[in-house]
Amino acid sequence: MARTIAVASQKGGVGKTTTVASLGVALAELGQEVLLVDLDPQACLTFSLGIDPEDLTRSVHDVLTGDARVRDVVVATEDGVDLVPATIELAQVEAVLLTRGGREHALDDALGDLRSHYDWIILDCPPTLGILTVNALTAADEVIVPLQCETLAHRGVGQLVETVRDVARVTNPRLRIGGILPTMFDGRTTHARAVLADIADRYDVPVLDPPIARSVRFAEAPALGRSALRTASTLRGVEAYRSHARRMLAARLDPEPPG
């Protein structure tokens, strides 16, 4: 069965979509079958992997409203991962779901028949704590929180951690926080190092190492419709994502004993 990872942050521009694409492609490089799900109405993940949202007739919006099966919406990408794409229509789905019982489980239920076909499902959440993010947390086994190493970037992390714990208590008891992933990190600056140290002290969750080094190459990759693992394969930040993918796979193959 697929291991399902939600990548979530209340703040935009922290490398969330880059993290989803990079971890997914890095896991595919390791021989894993990977499905990415774009849950952001801005459809940045969809665009970043070379698919024009305006050309789509079906998307994750149709899956969540019950108008399409998820297997009929999945598209292959050139980077070796499959994708459930998004379009701007997804912005309307919250109003639809709020009228339905069990709305928090819409995504979890939809993914049910695909979990046996993939090793990993990685969910790209919108930068809010609304119903789409709650759906992702309800469907996930684990949450990774990308965090830009700047003072203002981690002000909302505490609220996100509380939301994760609420979801674990109410709708998804298997959910856990996999860790905070420092992104856009410049180890040459005292400020970035201080923020990283503060994160480790402030939150009772793991801080994942190595941090992802800042590089303009991550911002350039979406214009080519490919992940940075394909456009800048030897980049230090890319190697860091590969390191995290190896750690994730090793942890799955050799889990820690309970208790």
CATH of the domain at 165: 3.40.50.300
Q: Which of 117, 113, 135, 118 is nearest to 126 (CA)?
A: 135
Local structure of residue 13 (DSSP, 8 states)? S
Burial class of residue 215, CB neighbours in 10 A (0-12, 13-18, 19+): middle
pLDDT score at 259: 46
- In a domain, residue 124? The reply is yes
Residue 87 lies in a domain: yes
The neighbouring-strand residues paired with 38 are: 124
User: Does residue 258 sit within a domain?
Assistant: no
Cα dihedral sign, 70-71-77-80 = positive
CA dist 130 and 134 (Å) reads 6
Token readout for 53 is: 């949202």
Task: Please give the structure tokens belonging to residue 101.
Answer: 């019982």
Domain that holds residue 154: 3-253
Beta strands across the sheet bearing 120-124: 75-76, 82-84, 34-38, 120-124, 3-7, 142-148, 176-183
Into how many domains does the chain fold? 1
Are the CB atoms for 49 and 21 separated by under 8 Å?
A: yes
In a domain, 19, yes or no: yes
pLDDT at 185: 79
Q: Tens of pLDDT along the chain (259 residues)?
A: 899 999 999 888 888 999 999 999 999 999 999 999 999 999 999 999 999 999 999 999 999 999 999 999 999 999 999 999 999 999 999 889 988 888 999 999 999 979 999 999 999 999 988 999 999 999 999 999 998 877 766 777 888 888 999 999 999 999 999 999 999 877 667 777 787 777 777 777 888 999 998 889 998 998 899 999 999 989 999 999 999 999 999 998 876 654 4
**What pLDDT is recorded for position 152?**
66
Contacts for 212 with CB less than 8 Å, ≥ 6 apart: 15, 19, 146, 181, 182, 183, 184, 185, 237, 240, 241
- Residue 143 is assigned to a structural domain of this protein: yes
Q: Is residue 207 part of a domain?
A: yes
Does some domain include residue 259? no
Would you say residue 231 lies in a domain? Answer: yes
